[in-house]
Amino acid sequence: MLGGVSRKLNLYKEDAKIVNMKVISVEVEEEFAKALEAIKQPYLDRQTLIKTLLFSGLKQYKLELAVQKYLEGEVSTWKAAEIAGVSLRKMNKILQEKGIEMHYSEKSLKEDLE
């Protein structure tokens, strides 16, 4: 209480987004569970650590999928960037770092214009 007046601390900003969460249960091999337990992060609880690892893995998976689709000629650089969730500039840099030659076809142009 401050000066005889009780105040509640508002931890949420008025413009904050409401995030819907879903519980996902998954069985893993004992070795995998032990590896998770071995990761000691003093500032992360187990749930946050697992969320962080899942997010990181999903991000990597989307990037690899985008590169694969680009290599197979299924998508343009722009669409690959969209799949990967990165900017076009970042996607171009990733492709360049992987030594992947840039290609831009008429099909890619039409796809980008859609």
Q: Please, what are the averages of pLDDT over each run of 10 residues along the chain (114 residues)?
A: 48 63 89 87 84 93 96 91 95 93 68 65
Torsions phi, psi for 50 (to 5 deg): -65, -40
Can you give the residue range of the structural domain that contains 71?
30-113
Is residue 69 domain-resident?
A: yes
Is residue 71 domain-resident?
A: yes
Is residue 6 domain-resident?
A: no
> What integer pLDDT is reported at residue 2 of this predicted model?
46
Question: Residue ranges of the alpha helices (H) in the chain?
Answer: 30-38, 46-71, 77-84, 88-97, 106-113
71 CB contacts (<8 Å, ≥6 apart)? 100
Is residue 56 domain-resident?
A: yes
The pTM of the whole model exceeds 0.95: no
